[in-house]
Structure 1
Amino acid sequence: MNSTPKGLALSHFHAGYPKRPVISDLNVPKLPRGKITVLLGPNGSGKSSLLRAIAGLGNAKGNVYLDDVNLMQLPFSQRAEKVVYLPQSLPAGVHLHVLESIIVAQRASGGLSQREDKDAVMTLLRQLGIEHLALNYLDQLSGGQKQLVGLAQSLIRQPSLLLLDEPLSALDLNYQFHVMDLVRRETQRRNIVTVVVVHDINIALRHGDHVLMLQNGQLIADGEPAEVITAESLARVYGVRGRIERCSQGIPQVIIDGLVTEPLQ
């Protein structure tokens, strides 16, 4: 008998505020482990609210299944053992070295010995290219450096579900590629479910295995990137005239020609 595939699934999921729903009756098919799902949509479509609600940080009802466990039925402490959510920016006013902050995150998830903790953190900092910042205080870092530290804090906790809210927004082009390559490698190596919010559609085409496209809190489309990101969906969801062409590596990319000037039929 075939076993049920492992992954993340949502059914009849609602999130938002008591008098202002943001996500309404959302149903998401199972997103498999070892894959990156990219969450796309215009501003205000509910992307960040959805991630926060899945992590247990917002008002929500419905079902969120990770493998065969309904996260909505778990106490927050147990949910946090499985799910790590990285917001767009780290909390201010934390007076710790980079190294200390990541070790704290590791120990919050069970931790290793002090020596093993430090070795694991330094390895991760090297992979992210910020080993030289280990003894810098968090409040001395640039926005992009803080995002990299936040990613290190998230990965060191070894989650089953990794939720990243615009982790590339303060990074230059080189680091965007570097970080997404690392996220893909760690997602595959650890066999976890990773959901990433980005605004750059070409990031989704290049690095995503699956795409969910939201509009006004509703799931407009889901599937492989090239199936979801089309000239029609760009016009309908973003209001732009775009075309899909392939770069020298054969990867699809979006070229925007302008705004949609006539109402869609």
Structure 2
Amino acid sequence: MLVLLPPSETKLDGGDGPPLRLDALRYPELGPARKELVDHLVELSADVPASRAALGLSPRQDAEIARNAALWTAPTAPAILRYTGVLYDALDVRSLTGAAAERARARLAVGSALFGLLHADDPVPAYRLSAGSALPGRGTLAAFWRPVLEPVLAEIAARELVIDLRSGSYAALARVPGAVSVTVLAEHTDGRRTVVSHFNKAHKGALARVLASTRAEPTDATAVARLARRAGMRVERPEPLRLEIVVPA
């Protein structure tokens, strides 16, 4: 089982790992594409106004541009610890110990606009690049990544169940055949259901924690739903490969 997470805009500073080495990352077939984007971001960082425009930043966020300038020299940290925010707070991977922590490191991966796909332990520096960023002189990041990333994800999906928790813009970078997708819905008192926005990440993070640490090895959406229900979640399966987490509005 592979639990595919979205990244976060917010990232931990620093790290105690050596500078970025692309050959130290999992999925080496993505190496040339990774190098192309890292080099492009480093070069772009020399033009601060252009970087702001491409990355959707304000002058108060120029530190993000400085991060990109140092991509080849900054210290690294494991990907699963690099990302922060609501989903990663709910996942709380640092609190897992023993066998549960080992299972989490084996099962968790992150979809990244810069690196394509990262395994939990892959050492990466802090950076700023979103799936919706418009880099000058290039097409969309989805058009860039799809041809190289989809075969990698298809190969993974052929041998194990993938639970895709990515948001829409990151899911657009590459499809995963046969993956189980998850939507969070708020149920109102009149029975209406609406898509959860603000707390969506928290519920997905809680589900990721359950899946990352369980001793079970689910092989389909039904088994994933069963595990979530045992953890106290209300989960429905409206389609064979789609689950809905239903929460009070």
Fold shared, TM-score > 0.5 on shorter chain: no
Structure with a larger share of its residues in helix? 2
TM-score normalised by length of structure 2: 0.29
TM-score normalised by length of structure 1: 0.28
Structure with a larger share of its residues in strand? 1
